[in-house]
Amino acid sequence: MALKLSLIFAALALNAGAASAPKPADPFAGIKLTAPDGSAMANFIPWGATTTNFWVKDKYGKFRDILLGFDNHTMYGDPASNGHPYFGPVVGRYANRIRNGTFTIPVTKDASGPNKFHIVENENNGTDTLHGGLIGYDQRPWTLVKKTDNSVTFSLLDPNGDQGFPGTVITTIEYTLEVKSTWKISMHSTASELTPIMLSCHQYWNLEAYQETQDLLGHFAQFDSSNIITTNGELIPTGSLTPVEGTPLDFRKAKSIGGSINATAAEEYCGTGCVGFDNCWIYDDNDCKKPVFSLWSVNSGIKLDVTTNQPALQVYTCNGLFNPALPIPRKVDQGGPDAVYGYHSCVVVEQESWIDGINHPEFPVNQIYGPDRTYSWESTYAFSVLK
């Protein structure tokens, strides 16, 4: 079976470089989906398998686009002009950060063992790798495989050696809008040889669509997690955990995200000199059957409940999104283009595995996949209105 798979991957990799390889006619062309009962709508583009818009109804029965992004879709493919915020794509082959851009197979502490791989560093002055390297999955045209009125499937062939990763990986993602404003996302990857895979979706949310406020004071969250993965000043994991008890990181009881941000300043949880959240929480008890994360706005009344098969959650409160030298205009239906996306005005929610697990064999995860082990990422985002 492994030999058969390797031959298939070799043929696919060869074909990927050929002129006849399938490519989307326009990777920035919008694809619109509508839930069967009309309760939700969303737009996607093949570039990065990106979600560009997401509409659900607020407590007044009016649709709002609650996802940050660009009205001009070509901007998604021009990171130099916008600071590369990773608005709405799949991030990979390995999401989040890789210490020193290196790892070994088998995994050893901080890549101290043999069989070392070096991935393109693209962050912190070339000292670590973020979201898969210089050209991650967000900066590639995915192939449109299938589309219905409420579902779209994209695929990506990631060749052996790209960005330094071993093995050819084929990934598919299916986005489906179901009744009652339910969004199902399913990602699966197969690899020709042993290689790390950790994917995530990187949507930026403002559940008010910037209509009531420009901050996160009205955004509340609740999720059961007693620990975060401890990181250094550059957000690289140290290998230990930090208990959330008695800290601003504790969301086991519902509280305002925006109201907790200033309390993070002293400990610099989101990095040196940073105020806000950019942390990886470990779910206490995730049976993959019931929601493990909830986010809502008391102003719009929109609520999000997430069910996932992932063991961890990264939350980023847009601490560095606003750059005075390169401000990002908001979408027109979010008050743009004169208004821009501001500091601490949105939240990214990434369902994922333990970050930089490929440099920490002490973590209870196995992030190495191959011909005999496929990768699976499943999440359901269920939207509702507060009662």
CA–CA gap between residue 224 and residue 319 (Å, rounded): 23
pLDDT at position 387:
83
The answer on pLDDT for 242 being more than 80 is yes
Burial zone of 232 (CB within 10 Å; 0-12 exposed, 13-18 middle, 19+ buried): exposed
The answer on pLDDT for 182 being more than 70 is yes
Enzyme catalytic residues: 202, 350
- Report yes or no: 185 and 177 within 8 Å, Cβ to Cβ: no
Identify the CATH number of the domain defined by range 2-385.
2.70.98.10
The answer on pLDDT for 93 being more than 50 is yes
Segment 284-291 mean pLDDT:
96
Prediction pTM value: 0.94
Residues ≥6 apart with Cβ < 8 Å to 49: 89, 90, 137, 142, 154, 156, 173
Q: Which residues pair with 32 in a beta bridge?
A: 43
Angle at 81 between CA 76 and CA 83, to 5 degrees: 80
Segment 198-221 mean pLDDT:
98
CA 102, 96, 276, 228 torsion: positive or negative? negative
Q: Which residue has the tokens 């045209």?
A: 141
pLDDT at position 47:
98
Segment 315-331 mean pLDDT:
96
pLDDT at position 25:
67
DSSP letters for 94-118 = B-SEEETTEEESS--GGG-SSSEEE
CA–CA gap between residue 103 and residue 97 (Å, rounded): 11
SS3 label, residue 92: coil
Residue 276 phi/psi, 5-degree rounding, is 130, -165
Question: pLDDT, tens digit, for every residue of 12-53?
Answer: 443 444 333 444 569 999 999 999 999 999 999 999 999 999
365 token code pair: 């995860």
The full set of domain ranges for the chain reads: 2-385
pLDDT at position 14:
38
Question: pLDDT, tens digit, for every residue of 116-158?
Answer: 999 999 999 999 999 999 999 999 999 999 999 999 999 999 9
pLDDT at position 16:
42
Question: pLDDT, tens digit, for every residue of 96-117?
Answer: 999 999 999 999 999 999 999 9
How high does pLDDT run on average in the chain? 94
Question: pLDDT, tens digit, for every residue of 49-89?
Answer: 999 999 999 999 999 999 999 999 999 999 999 999 999 99
pLDDT at position 52:
98
The answer on pLDDT for 9 being more than 90 is no
The answer on pLDDT for 237 being more than 80 is yes
Burial zone of 63 (CB within 10 Å; 0-12 exposed, 13-18 middle, 19+ buried): middle
Segment 219-227 mean pLDDT:
98
DSSP H helical segments within the chain, as ranges? 2-16, 79-82, 258-261
The answer on pLDDT for 333 being more than 50 is yes
The answer on pLDDT for 222 being more than 50 is yes
Q: Which residue has the tokens 């996802």?
A: 67
Segment 184-209 mean pLDDT:
98
The answer on pLDDT for 277 being more than 90 is yes
Dihedral of the alpha carbons of 137, 352, 112, 110, in degrees to the nearest 10: 110
pLDDT at position 115:
97
Question: pLDDT, tens digit, for every residue of 334-364?
Answer: 999 999 999 999 999 999 999 999 999 999 9
